[in-house]
Amino acid sequence: QAADNPDRSVAFYSQDMNQGMQERMRIESDLRQALGNGELILYYQPKFEIVSGRIVGAEALVRWLHPTRGLVPPSDFIPLAETTGLIVQVGEWVLEQACAQAAIWQRAGVPPFRLAVNVSAREFTPTLPARVADTLLRYQLDASWLELEITESTLMHDFERVTAIMDRITALGVSLSLDDFGTGYSSLSYLKRFPIHTLKIDRSFTTGIPSDPSDCAIAGTIISMARQLNLRVIAEGVETLAQLDFLREAGCDEVQGYLYSKPVPAFDFERSLRENWLLVS
Ligand code: C2E
Ligand code: MG
Ligand code: MG
Ligand code: MG
């Protein structure tokens, strides 16, 4: 019994801890290698303007094509990368890759849309604007092709510092959107203080539309607030026509979700661009 033998329970406990820690360390060193081995890939998910039906953007979402574990979703390695700091290198790769891809589309004469890259709070440092500027320059990519998605956690750091970084990014012509909106803890006053262009209604609210009155109320309120603040607003995780109808009625600008497309590799994205999404309705 553990009560009779406290040392034993402590030993078990620390063994579990060690296993968890070893697993994390293994994933971290694997991920470090993956960066060098080209095992990360980007998938792309389109964003559509409701009124016109046109594609107005896309989100780049990272995946890890692991040699033995297959396609690993970001939820299995991004949080870990965030705690270890490896997210900075992952983020550098993602920005580089996204700009390279957007530049290909720009040169191919694809009608412009914004390609959004997710940026973690840990990447949102004073060196980010210069890195963005340098990447745009190297790929000769027009800044209007690029958008950065940040979360409320980014805004909870030192106000002056965050604003300065944002101002330098938007001065380049790059847009900023606030991801997973409504799930964070920060104050609403930041919406007027920060140079943010778009609010992204979190999927957890979209999911409850139209059956859950609270989710409908929250989504509707975010939409009307965004409109009054002159921000664009997009709902993520749109899966049904009923959700689309509600969002259209509520005045939502854009939608993104499985109803239109899951995130797909660049090759499939391009084919859909050609065959479906660029057809003006
Ligand atoms: P997010 O930025 O909020 O991205 C939206 C997530 O919702 C994506 O999951 C997308 O596949 C999923 N999604 C979109 N539409 C639907 C839908 O209709 N139904 C359902 N069930 N899901 C939908 P994914 O790709 O697994 O990414 C999860 C999260 O991982 C992202 O959430 C983002 O926080 C993070 N992430 C992904 N790529 C990157 C990256 O390059 N850098 C950083 N820092 N984080 C990333
Ligand atoms: Mg996002
Ligand atoms: Mg999101
Ligand atoms: Mg989300």
- Tens digits of residue pLDDT in 74-88: 999 999 999 989 999
Q: Which residues contact 88 (CB under 8 A, 6 or more apart)?
A: 122, 123
Rounded mean pLDDT of the chain?
92
73 lines ligand 1 (CB under 6 A): yes
Tell me the average pLDDT across 118-141. 97
pLDDT tens readout for residues 198-244: 999 999 999 999 999 999 999 999 999 999 999 999 999 999 999 99
Distance of CA 117 from the midpoint of ligand 4 (Å)? 13
Higher pLDDT, 205 or 25: 205
Token pair 């609403």 is found at 188
129 lines ligand 1 (CB under 6 A): no
Tell me the average pLDDT across 171-176. 98
Measured by CA distance, the residue closest to atom 19 of ligand 1 is: 237
Q: What is the pLDDT of residue 237?
A: 98
71 lines ligand 1 (CB under 6 A): no
- pLDDT band (50, 70, 90) for residue 3: very low
Both tokens of 156, joined, read: 């909870």
Q: Which of 236, 239, 255 to mutate to test the pocket of ligand 1 (most atoms within 8 A of CB)?
A: 236
End-to-end distance of the chain based on CA atoms, in angstroms? 71
Altogether, the residues listed in the chain come to a count of: 281
Distance of CA 4 from the midpoint of ligand 4 (Å)? 47
Distance of CA 178 from the midpoint of ligand 3 (Å)? 8
Predicted TM-score (pTM) of this structure:
0.93
| Predicted ipTM of the assembly | 0.98
Both tokens of 263, joined, read: 């995130």
Burial class of residue 133, CB neighbours in 10 A (0-12, 13-18, 19+): middle
Check whether 95 has a pLDDT greater than 80. Answer: yes
Higher pLDDT, 238 or 190: 238
- E strand or H helix at 234, and its extent? strand 232-236
CA 120 to ligand 1: nearest atom: 44
Q: Are 139 and 99 in contact (CB under 8 A)?
A: yes
CA 62 to ligand 1: nearest atom: 38
Q: What is the pLDDT of residue 118?
A: 98
Candidates 183, 248, 253; CA nearest to 218 is 183
179 lines ligand 1 (CB under 6 A): yes
- pLDDT band (50, 70, 90) for residue 17: low
Q: What is the pLDDT of residue 1?
A: 43
Distance of CA 152 from the midpoint of ligand 3 (Å)? 11
237 lines ligand 1 (CB under 6 A): yes
Measured by CA distance, the residue closest to atom 27 of ligand 1 is: 74
Q: What is the pLDDT of residue 187?
A: 79
